[in-house]
Structure 1
Amino acid sequence: MGATAVTAAALPTVPVLHSEWIKIRSARAVLGSLVAVFAATAGVTVLTAAGTSEPGAMGEDRLLGAFFGINFGQIAAISFGATAFAGEFRSGALRVSLTAVPNRTRLYLSKAAAVAGLAFVVGQVTGLVTFVAGQAFMGDDALSLGDPGTVRAVFGSGAYLTLIALLSAGLTALVRSGTLVMSLLIPFLLIVPFVVGQVVGGAMQFMPDRAGQMVMRAQADGALGPWSGLAVAGLWALAALAAGWLAVRRRDA
């Protein structure tokens, strides 16, 4: 009973969640990065699809190719997660937040829930628009929502962007610097897999980007399937959030 009461006392509440939404809405950089998730993913996919006439130009896996812009959208997702949390660690903002919400766990979970909720909604809209708009330019090679794996890929693309945002948010809470997280995480996801992929072999499939994007593939590539790959990406995000939570609880404001 005591443990249950402690847990309940730390859960997010509507007023705290509303305050976190106000913070995100009032910070142009944070809100802009959230909008950029949609613009980059859908925009790059549509422009690429409209500018190519060769089958396979967007990748060997046609289903994954339908979300060609996801590699650009994930940069915006990293920025969203980082900037949403970074504001708490500038100019004593965390002390002000703790004055309003003294329970650090509740504050942290509320912030993470706000990031997750907004990223998920935007991610789902992004996934659907990206697929439908991109395939409109593919002619006879176009996929439809009724094709095998398509609905899973649309849902999974939004879930993947959400997990990337949470991974970034957790790391930002850990190191207290959104700039540092973006400068390290973006190259880690975009460059490292191509540089060291051949050296470490199959281990790269367990990196958050490679694993998470399995949910958008028509065919399995390696040991992970669509849902197990997304689960691996989820474990990366969970580990980052747990590390960030420990840091927020133990460090001085």
Structure 2
Amino acid sequence: MSAALPTVPVLHSEWLKIRSLRGTFGALIAVFVATAGIQALACAAVGQAEAGALGEDPLLGAFYGINFGQIAAFTFGASALAAEFHHGALRTTLTSVPNRTRFYLSKIAMVGALAFLVGQVTGLLTFVLGQAFMGRYALSLGDPGALRAVFGSGVYLTLMALFAAGLTAVLRSAAIVLSVLIPFVVMVPFIIGQAAGGAAEFLPDQAGQLVLRLESTGRLGPWSGLGVLALWAVAALAAGWLAVRRRDA
């Protein structure tokens, strides 16, 4: 495996690919715009109306915008991988980087690094900008759980992007992946939660967002919930690695 680890030239080429693809780079920027922008708008509209205007958990409410930002994270991860499967791009890539594992790990490393960087900036500014409109109901970074939630929100967005990237390596279509993932995180938790007595707690978004809550009431805590999301992402990435290694370009 060490012979297949990413190298600086390969990582640089993956950065150039992402930067040159308008849709992919735009989705990365949209992670910040959607999360922080919607959070600021929501807080400006209802933040000072009453306590709990953004939900019973004030810390989770401080990251309301992440429900929209995660869609952009899905789009970023999916489009970054899907670009390799259009018009024979993968064959060209493998001509330059014949080792498929090195190519795949380099792609995933760059997607993860960019998502983490943008995610951390997004988490901090989402919290700060949103709370600026909350008046006497505002939280500060020194309040219990605030720093954990800020850091965890960036990790959450990163794992969501990697989850989508791994699935795209399997399905080879960003459109298919997004048509599956968006309903999966929007509707399925409520359906399963009502039908299976709380099994939705172990779904990616429900588990991952526990790191944003002031207190956990279920079987998972903030970090164990994020760990469950990480397992979903690792499983998708492993499946993607097998697909890239075994399928024809």
TM-score interval for Structure 1 and Structure 2 normalised by the shorter chain: over 0.9
Tell me, yes or no, if the aligned pair for 1:86 and 1:178 is still in contact at 8 Å: yes
Q: Does 1:18 align with 2:7?
A: no
Match of 2:61 among 54, 60, 65: 65
Distance 1:208 1:35 in 2: 23
Task: Tell me the TM-score normalized by structure 1.
Answer: 0.97
Distance 2:218 2:67 in 1: 20
CA deviation vs aligned residue, 1:131-161 (integer Å, no higher than 9, x gap): 0000011111111000111100000000000
Q: Does 1:239 align with 2:225?
A: no
1:208 corresponding residue in structure 2: 204
Distance 2:16 2:33 in 1: 22
1:182 corresponding residue in structure 2: 178
Tell me, yes or no, if the aligned pair for 1:214 and 1:221 is still in contact at 8 Å: no
Number of residue pairs aligned between Structure 1 and Structure 2: 247
Q: 1:54: how far off?
A: 2.0
Task: Tell me the TM-score normalized by structure 2.
Answer: 0.98
2:162 corresponding residue in structure 1: 166
Tell me, yes or no, if the aligned pair for 1:77 and 1:162 is still in contact at 8 Å: yes
| Mapping of residues 25-64 of structure 1, within 5 Å | 25-52=19-46, 53-64=49-60
Q: Does 1:98 align with 2:94?
A: yes
Runs of 4+ in 1 over 3 A off after TM superposition: none
Distance 1:159 1:129 in 2: 15
Query: In the alignment, residue 203 of structure 1 is paired with which amino acid?
Result: A
Q: 1:55: how far off?
A: 1.5
CA deviation vs aligned residue, 1:197-233 (integer Å, no higher than 9, x gap): 2111221100000000000100013100000000000
Distance 1:235 1:19 in 2: 28
Shifted more, 195-204 versus 100-109: the winner is 195-204
Tell me, yes or no, if the aligned pair for 1:17 and 1:110 is still in contact at 8 Å: yes
Shifted more, 75-84 versus 189-198: the winner is 189-198
Stretches of structure 2 that go unaligned for 5 or more consecutive residues are none
Match of 1:108 among 100, 104, 125: 104
Q: Counterpart of 1:166 in 2: which secondary structure?
A: helix
Q: Counterpart of 2:198 in 1: which secondary structure?
A: helix
Stretches of structure 1 that go unaligned for 5 or more consecutive residues are 1-6
Question: How much identity, in percent, do the aligned residues show?
Answer: 69
Distance 2:9 2:53 in 1: 49
Tell me, yes or no, if the aligned pair for 2:192 and 2:199 is still in contact at 8 Å: no
Distance 2:65 2:30 in 1: 12
Q: 1:60: how far off?
A: 0.7
2:2 corresponding residue in structure 1: 8
Q: Does 1:218 align with 2:214?
A: yes
Distance 2:183 2:215 in 1: 27
Tell me, yes or no, if the aligned pair for 1:157 and 1:215 is still in contact at 8 Å: yes
Q: 1:191: how far off?
A: 1.4
Distance 1:79 1:59 in 2: 27
Q: 1:82: how far off?
A: 0.3
